[in-house]
Amino acid sequence: MTIQDIIPHIEALIFASDKPLTTLELTELVNNSFADDEKASLDMIESALEGIQEKYSAEFYPFGVLQSGGGWQFLTKKEYHKTVAQLNGEKFLKRLSAAALETLAIIAYKQPVTKGEIEAIRGVSSDYAVQKLLEKELIVISGRNEKAAGQPLLYSTSSGFMDYFGINSAEDLPKIREVLADQLVEPTIIKDSLADIHNREEDLTNEEGADDIISLAVSEGGELTNS
C-alpha cells in the first residue's frame, strides 16, 4: 500500500461524509477498506492529507480540503463564499447583531454556560439573542446544570460555530489576554529638560544640569512619577 493508493479513498470519504472526519477516523475507515495485511499507519494518512491539501490549493479548484468543525472537510474557497451562500437562503448572509455576537462570545469562552450566567455578564435579558443563535445552529443545548436551582439549560458552541468562524476547535479561539492586548494603555512618557523646569519653578537653582533629561511617567493610579 502506498500513499497514492490511499489518497483517492480519503478524498471519497471526506466528500461523502455528512460530518467532518478526524485523522483517526480516516485511518480506521481507510484500513477497513483494505485487506488485513495492508494497513495504513497514522503517518501515512497524515502524509496523504498533506498531499490532498497541496493538490486542491491550486487556483483551478474552487474548493479545498481543510480542518474545520472538528475534522477534515471539503470547503469552498473564500472568494466563492457569497456565491455558495445563496443556497442557504439568508441564513448566513445576514450579519450577527451586536447583541448576538456578544452573547456568542460569552458562550464560546464560558461554555458550558446557563442563560442566567450570560445575563449576569451582559446585564440584560438574552432570550432573543440565544434563540437566534440556536436558530442559526451556532450554539446547542448541551445539558443541564444539575447543581443550580431549577437545573437550568446549559449552552455550548456547535460544530456549525466552528465552521462559521473557520476554526477546528474551541481551543483555536484567541486567548482573552491576546484580545485585550491591543486595548492596554501604555504609560505616557513625558520628557522635559531641567532648564524648562527651572523657568517654571523658582526653587530649582542648579542650572548645571540644564541639559539633563528627566523622564516622567503616568502611573496606573494616574500619578506622575519618575520613570
pLDDT of 181 over the 80 cut: no
Q: What's the CA gap between 29 and 157, in Å, rounded?
A: 27
> Is 220 inside any structural domain?
yes
Q: Indicate if the pLDDT at residue 56 is higher than 90.
A: yes
**Contact residues for 119 (Cβ-Cβ < 8 A; gap 6+):** 125, 126
Is the peptide bond preceding residue 112 cis, with omega within 30 degrees of 0? yes
Q: How many Cβ atoms sit within 10 Å of the Cβ of residue 140?
A: 19
Residue 99 reports pLDDT greater than 60: yes
The tally of domains found in the chain comes to 3
Torsion of CA 159, 105, 97, 184, to 10 degrees: -140
Q: What does the CA dihedral 16, 17, 22, 24 come to, rounded to 10 degrees?
A: -70
Please say if the pLDDT value at position 13 is more than 60: yes
User: Do 145 and 210 lie in a common domain?
Assistant: no
Helices 23-32 and 42-56 meet at what angle, rounded to 10?
A: 110
The pLDDT tens digits of the residues spanning 102-153 come to 999 899 888 899 999 999 999 898 999 999 899 888 889 999 998 888 889 9
Rounded to an integer, the average pLDDT of 167-196 is 57
In a domain, 35, yes or no: yes
Nearest to 212 by CA among 189, 196, 199, 225: 196
Q: What domain range includes position 57?
A: 3-85
**Domain check: are 57 and 37 in the same one?**
yes
- What's the pLDDT at 178? 55
Determine, yes or no, domain membership for 91. Answer: no
Residue 176 has pLDDT above 70, yes or no: no
Q: Is the per-residue pLDDT at 61 higher than 80?
A: yes
d(CA 26, CA 16): 12
Q: Is residue 192's pLDDT more than 70?
A: no
Residue 90 resides in a domain: no
Q: Is the pLDDT of residue 206 over 50?
A: no
Q: What is the mean pLDDT of residues 162-170?
A: 72
- pLDDT, residue 177, reads 60
Say which CATH number the domain at 11 has: 1.10.10.10
Domain assignment present for 147: yes
Instruction: Place 210 in a pLDDT band, splitting at 50, 70 and 90.
Output: very low
In the predicted structure, residue 63 carries a pLDDT above the cut 70: yes
CB 197 within 8 A of CB 214: yes
Q: pTM of the prediction?
A: 0.55
Same domain (yes/no): 171, 220? no
User: In this model, does residue 187 exceed pLDDT 50?
Assistant: no
Alpha helices (runs of H) in 136-203, residue ranges in sequence order: 159-165, 176-181, 194-200
159 compared with 64, residue with greater pLDDT: 64
